[in-house]
Structure 1
Amino acid sequence: MRLTRIAVILQSASFFVSILAVHTMPHIMEHIKEFDCSGRRFQQREYAQLTRTELTGPVNQYGWTMDKIYNDLLSDRSNYNLSAFQDDSDSYHKFYELETTSQRHEISRGYVIYAYILVTNQHGFVNAMIRRRESHVGRQDLPDTYSICQIAT
């Protein structure tokens, strides 16, 4: 009976790892990393030169940190796209909003602003790109939403 429980636990763990592996791949050379954020493409030569603002602490009205948002995006089972570079040595991440890359789009009775956030590991290697959507409808500001960009390399 005990052996059966161990087998079930190991099988469950391998299922979880395979789901996470759908979204990540090992790091490649930095100069060829590229991301596609719903049609807005970022190449390394662009995002490496942009001014960045590090995001620390809570980033929304729920008190969530970018680390929580990033982990939630990586574990989203409805997204089967290759979305992040990641190695076993990645122990923590830093998040940087890229200045001068935001895009404003007019919508019915308001507008939407898209901002882009670069994710790096403790060694400064780029892991992913996140797109934040700020919606302003009439006099109401809706909660921000986040999506992870696809690897386009």
Structure 2
Amino acid sequence: MALPSRASRLAPVVDMAEREERDAARNLGQCQTQVNQAEGKLQDLHRYLGDYQQQWITEGKNGVSGQWMMNYQRFLSQLETAIKQQNQSVEWHRNNLHQARELWQQKYARLEGLRKLVQKYMDEARVAADKREQKLLDELSQRLLQRERN
């Protein structure tokens, strides 16, 4: 059965909406991957900080030189700066993810609305075709009755 004309005219719009929804979903997936990677790096930095602090405890028991202490403080400061920057990166990626999710939801809702509209048009066309068919059958049966009477 061929698509009714109103529904068939919407086919290119539906195709475009499907492509846009797929692209938005792909982008959403990429953003989620980037968030996961940024969060993983942040966890690594926190783990590294914990390891380094444990090294301080171990080395401190044996006594440390002033040079070792200065190097430790400098490196600790750099590590804390890296953690702050990575926190900002995680937040930035999460914002991107939020925006990508909202865009995908909009594209998905539009696509579903178009699909429902096409289905409505197809249903209306089917009902109209059924009515036309019933009318034809009624006319045929009327003609047959008239012929039998004549």
Q: Is the structural similarity TM-score above 0.5?
A: no
Q: Please indicate the TM-score interval, normalised by the length of the shorter structure.
A: under 0.3
TM-score (norm 2): 0.24
More strand by share: 1
More helix by share: 2
The one of the two structures with greater contact order (alpha-carbon pairs below 8 A, sep at least 6) is 2
Could you say which structure has the larger radius of gyration? Answer: 2
